[in-house]
Structures are given as structure tokens and as C-alpha cells.
Structure 1
Amino acid sequence: MIRAISKNALALGAAAVFCVAILSLVNQQTAPRISEQLLASKLAILSEVLPGVDASQSLLQDCLLVTNEALLGRSSAQAVYRWRQNGELAGFIVETTAPNGYSGNIDLIVALTPDGTILGSRVLDHKETPGLGDKIEARRSPWIFSFSGKTVTDDNAGKWTVRKDGGDFDQFTGATITPRAVIHAVRNAALLIQQQPELADIPANCAL
């Protein structure tokens, strides 16, 4: 009996080692392709929030890691890309998070001019309710385009919320928490750029 158990244990151990080796090999072979796909996806999104701009990998290289949980929604660092034209700073692309979505975090990307005017915004990832909260996606609704051209000032700060709360932005029927969270995150991305002008001059520090 003991000998049989030992044989079974050895067989299971050998199988486990074999499976780990196969998974490691597959990971090594697919990792570069996955990395390329992620890069292509990020560049495509950057092209969407910077209309008329040919987003290339060089845009991703002028990148800062910024930690500001109050304005970027996470305790960990978020990426801020700097967009330059003819060597001059033309804008920022901020990766940010709305931590208070109906179903958890909503990750976004927001493009802004150096003075904090919003050029474009898109949702990168979310778990909001299909048919309700997912209207924050550009492919589901034009709602996300409503931020373009807007900025945050002392005079309009109270209007950066849904109409139900006295703001300027539409809510969704049956889903107010989701748009409220996204509006707050986009507003905070603008405040980050307005309140931290030093972001223009800090050396790039993202490991790409």
C-alpha cells in the first residue's frame, strides 16, 4: 500500500513539473506577442483622445509615473504621458481611475492641454452593468465625448456632476452612480494638470 502511494505521489509530482514547464514555455513564446498587442491597443486609444495626431511609440516614452490617490484614484502610481509638437509641450495624457463606480474601479485615459482643457477621454476598463453603466464606453454611447473642450474653473467646479445633482452632465436612466464617478475622475485629471505644473519638466521615469 505504502509503495503504491509513493508511486502515485511520484507520478503526480512528475506531472506537476511537466505542466509547469509547458506553461513556462508557452508564456515565454506568447509574452512578446501579448506585449505588442497591448502596445498597439494603447496607441489606438491615444489616437482616439488626440484627434488628428499620429500616436506613435515615441509618445509612450515621454512618460511619468505619478502617485496622487486623491486626484488619480489609486494608491499606486499612474502613467502620465507628455505629448510634444516640434519639441514644445502640447498636452498631457493621464491614466486615471474612478474608484467609486457602481461595480468597482473604472479606469480611464484623459487627454488635456497644458492649461487643463480636456481634449478627449475614454474608458479603458470597467465592470459596470451591461445595458446601463456600460454607456460610458464610446462604442455604446456618445456620452464620453461630452467632456471635450471643457475645463475646470472656480466658477464651474460645482457643475462637474450629473444634472440630478445640479450639474451639467447627463446621467443614465437607472444608473447615476457610474456617470457621477466618471465625471469626478475626469474633473480630477484636469485638476492634476492645473495644480502640478512641474509635471512639464520632471524627467521621464516610466520603465517601458
Structure 2
Amino acid sequence: MLRVGLLLGLFGVVGTGIVAITEALTREQIAANERAALRQAIEAVLPSTTYNNPILEDTLQVSDPLLGTENPILAYRARRDSQPVAVILTPVAPEGYNGAIKLLVGIHYDGSLAGVRVLSHKETPGLGDEIEEGKSEWILGFRNRSLGNPPESKWQVKRDGGTFDQFTGATVTPRAIVKAVRNTLKYFENHRHRLFSKEEEHFHGSPR
């Protein structure tokens, strides 16, 4: 009995060690994959030829209800020869049909949109998932838009009297994204100078 107990204990220790090692290795790989995906998404909305600073390191932690989440997010700041070019934010559209939709929103220093992409969502396949670039071109329609283009009152889907298309059989999803992008532009307008201030603390770490 003692021998069996010792063997079981040994197996338990070895098994726990293997799980811990695997988890650590997997965590590093997941973080690396997330960082690569973020870099690719940023490149899609803001080509690296437009800035020459290390954008994934030139970051600022920000928090505001307009960004759709209570959790702080990172603002990635693009500069060229130390001059501000654009900021990349990862706000949340909390009113998606099946839950929150995480976005990537690039905004030029002049307040116009560099582009918008969906980072993650749980919308219905075949309906709400048309927000994905690979499923339709709808998300590309935000490029070069601003709070004045269209006028702020038209920052709605057409069913609500606005400018932006909705999907057949799925209005909730595009409505949520249009609202989130509009709110992100409002946040930028309110905090433009702070976002690019050299006096602000830099936060270096894994993307949130």
C-alpha cells in the first residue's frame, strides 16, 4: 500500500509539472500569436510606411465610457519623425446581437478614420458575421469618415435615418458597430492632445 501510495504521489507530481510546463509554453505562444494578429490588423488599417516609430511600444493606457468598456485599453500611437500621424484604439461595441464586439479603430491626427476592423465577435454566422472583412466589404466603408463626414446625426444605419447600410435580417450588429465607431471618434476629439502628449507615461507590455 505504501509503495502504491508513493507511486501515485509521484505520478501526481509529474503530471502537475507537465501541465504547468505545457500551460506556460502555450501562454507564451498565445501571446505571440495575439501580438502577430494585432500587428497584422494595424497594418491593414494603417500601413507601416506612414510612420517610423515602434507603434507596438509607443502606447498609452486609456479608459473612458465612450470606448465601450470599463477596462482600460491601450492606445497605439503612430508618429513620423516624432510628429503625430494616427492612433489605433481597441474599443468595444457592447450592444452586439450576441454580445460584445471588439474593434480596432485607426484615426488619423486630423480626426478622419484610417480604417476599422473587427478583432473578435460572436455574431450569428451568415448574418451578423458580415462585419468581417473576409465576408463582405461593409467594414471598409468607414475609411476616411469623420464626425463631420457624415454629419454626426447621420452616424446611424439607414433604417434609423442614417448613412450606413445594415444587413438583410441583421440590423443590430451594424447598428452597434456604427455607434461604437462614432463614440470612439468622439473620444478622440475630446482627448486628441493627451493621446499624443510626450509627457504622458508610456506603457510597455502585451496588448490587451
In the TM superposition, what are the counterparts of 1:1-208 in structure 2 within 5 Å?
15-51=11-47, 53=49, 58-68=54-64, 70-153=65-148, 156-197=151-192, 198-201=194-197, 202-208=200-206
TM-score, normalised via structure 1 length: 0.87
> What is the root-mean-square deviation of aligned Cα atoms in Å?
2.5
Residues 1:156 and 1:83: Cα distance change in structure 2 (over 3 Å):
same
Distance 1:88 1:158 in 2: 32
Say if 2:52 and 2:80, in contact at 8 Å, map to a contact too.
no
Residues 1:18 and 1:50: Cα distance change in structure 2 (over 3 Å):
same
Identity %, equivalent residues: 36
Deviations 1:54-84 (A, max 9, x none): 789921101111111x211110101111000
Residues 1:171 and 1:18: Cα distance change in structure 2 (over 3 Å):
same
How many residue pairs get matched? Answer: 203
Say if 2:113 and 2:144, in contact at 8 Å, map to a contact too.
yes
TM-score, normalised via structure 2 length: 0.87
Say if 2:51 and 2:85, in contact at 8 Å, map to a contact too.
no
Note the residue ranges of structure 1 that are not aligned, 5 or more in a row.
none
CA apart distance, 1:32: 3.2
Which deviates more, 190-199 or 10-19? 10-19
Residues 1:55 and 1:37: Cα distance change in structure 2 (over 3 Å):
farther
Distance 1:9 1:118 in 2: 65
Say if 2:90 and 2:105, in contact at 8 Å, map to a contact too.
yes
